[in-house]
Structure formats: structure tokens, C-alpha cells
Structure 1
Amino acid sequence: MASYTLINGNIHTDERGAVSFLNSFNLTEIIRMYEIAPSNQTMIRAWQGHENEKKWFYCTQGSFIINLVKVPSFEQPSQDLKTEKIVLSAANPDILAITGGYATGIKAIEANSKLLVFSDFTVEQSKNDDFRYDANYWKAQWE
């Protein structure tokens, strides 16, 4: 069943500096990771979906808007599906975990933002489970 959750992290600060941690994030399913560093805050990277691939999103610098849409059928999905907006920020180290069955769109809120993405699929597996739609396919909140 398609679902998403926020895995809460925290930051410990003392005279030595700060440590961000996500002690409840289980890495056993992860096969690969990559980083997204948008060139500006106006670019919207949307929509990309996966029927089966799981993804985890972690903002390491700046902040991002991530819009999600649950897609019951990836072949010609309804344009009336409801989107949901999530904000991730390096100042609040949470991970957004998304099962297959969703399409996502992302937009940086701050300059020099970076988003680390983890996946449970290899690149080849992901290519066979990849569905892309125009950035205007679903209505979403980007501000």
C-alpha cells in the first residue's frame, strides 16, 4: 500500500559544535544514493513517479518543498489527484520516506540547497519503474 512517513531527526549542540542525527532511520533497504543541488529557487523538478521503488529524501543544506501525489494508476493518471506539500529543512533534520505509488516534485526554497535521495532500487531497476509527467500535470503549492 502506498504511503509516506516523516522520520524525525534531531540536532545536538554544545561548545564543540552541532551533530545532526537520525537514529531511527534504518538503512538496510538502501541500495544507492544521490544528491540533488538545484541551480536556483525557481526550477521545479516535477513530476517523477514510481510504482514500486521506495525513496527517502533528506535535506542536508537549505530547504525544499516536496509535493507528493498518490497515483493509483501510472498509465494516464487523473489530473484531478490531490497533491500534498511537505517542507524539508537542514535546520530540522527529518527524512521523508515514500513507498512506491507516488509521484514527487521538488523545489529549492533557499539558494545552495542540497537534497540527499536514497533508493531501494538500482539505476537499471529504477529506469524500468520510472514515470514522468509535465510540471503542470497536477496543481501543487510551490511557495
Structure 2
Amino acid sequence: MMSFQFIKGNVFKDARGSLRFFNTFNMGDIIRMYEIVPSDAEFTRGWQAHKYETKWFYCSQGSFQINVVKIDDFQNPSVKLVPTAFRLSEKEPVILEVIGGAATAIKATESDSKLTVFSNFTLEESKKDDFRYDLKTWQLQ
């Protein structure tokens, strides 16, 4: 089973400006949201994994590279796993859904980037489902 999927959005433009929308994004399972604003484009956040929590990532400003790797064993994951890299940009309205069972490593690729993250878990539930691995565990793509 894939650990990710894309939800395509669209943009409407007229004389008043533009409107980004995601009419096929069902937000019924979302419990909380937060925004990541890195202090610079050099730092990578990760690897962070969840067995059960699903997260949706949307770049509202700038751009990000999000590496996703499906975890084979949460207590002792194989270092031979190969991540898949995705680039999210404010220029293309898309939401990346990463289902439980995967780890992510996130890096802004432009200064002043902003990433909105939606979750189907409360903060307390997320903390109980949180697994962290050294950034050097898997090679960033």
C-alpha cells in the first residue's frame, strides 16, 4: 500500500485577484492544523514517523521538499529503505497526504516558506504515536 497520495487543487483568477481551492479535499477527519515556518532553508526537520496518524501537507508560500519513507519496523527500521522526495510549491496547488506507517523529512527550498500541516490526531494522540530517527538514517533525495 502506498504511504502517500496527492490531492490536486486549482486556481481561479480574475480582475479581483486569485483564489486557490481544493474542492475534493475532504476535511472530515482533520482534528488540528499547524504551520511550519523554518528560520532558514538549510535545516531539515526529520525523520519523524507515525504508525497511525495521517498528515496532509500544503505549501502556502515558497517551496518545500518532503521526503517520505514507508517504515518496515518501527523499533528497528531497515537503513536500506529508500525515501521518495516530493516538491511542494505555492505555484502549484496540491496537498500531499502521508498516511500512517511512514516517516517524513521536511526542508524548505526557499527562504520565507510556509507549510500548513493538517492532522487526524489530537496533539496528545500524536505524541503517543511519535517515532523519531536520526536524519542520517536514510539518504535524503
For the superposition of Structure 1 and Structure 2, which TM-score range results when normalised by the shorter chain? over 0.9
Taking structure 1 as the reference length, the TM-score comes to 0.96
The answer for the alignment partner of 1:101 in structure 2 is: 101
The answer for the alignment partner of 2:52 in structure 1 is: 52
The reply to whether residue 68 of structure 1 matches residue 68 of structure 2 is yes
Per the TM alignment, residue 14 of structure 1 is displaced from its structure 2 partner at its CA by 1.1
Partner-residue secondary structure (3-state), 1:42: coil
Partner-residue secondary structure (3-state), 2:65: strand
Quick one: distance in 2 between partners of 1:61 and 1:107? 13
Partner-residue secondary structure (3-state), 2:97: strand
The answer for the alignment partner of 2:25 in structure 1 is: 25
Quick one: distance in 1 between partners of 2:72 and 2:2? 9
Per the TM alignment, residue 117 of structure 1 is displaced from its structure 2 partner at its CA by 0.3
Q: How does 1:1-143 map to 2 (within 5 A)?
A: 1=1, 3-141=3-141
Per the TM alignment, residue 109 of structure 1 is displaced from its structure 2 partner at its CA by 0.7
User: Which stretches in structure 1 are left out of the alignment for 5+ residues?
Assistant: none
Question: Structure 1 vs Structure 2: percent identity of aligned residues?
Answer: 53
Quick one: distance in 2 between partners of 1:43 and 1:139? 15
Per the TM alignment, residue 136 of structure 1 is displaced from its structure 2 partner at its CA by 1.0
1:3 partner letter: S
Residues 53/2 of structure 1: CA separation in 2 closer, same or farther (3 Å cut): farther
Taking structure 2 as the reference length, the TM-score comes to 0.97
Count of aligned pairs between the two proteins: 141
Displacement over 6 Å in runs of 4+: none
Deviations 1:40-66 (A, max 9, x none): 011010100000000000001000000
Deviations 1:2-59 (A, max 9, x none): 5210000111111110100111000000000000000001101010000000000000
Alpha-carbon contact 2:72-2:78 (below 8 Å) kept:
no
Partner-residue secondary structure (3-state), 1:45: strand
Quick one: distance in 2 between partners of 1:56 and 1:88? 12
Q: Report the aligned-residue RMSD.
A: 0.9
Alpha-carbon contact 2:55-2:118 (below 8 Å) kept:
yes
User: Which stretches in structure 2 are left out of the alignment for 5+ residues?
Assistant: none
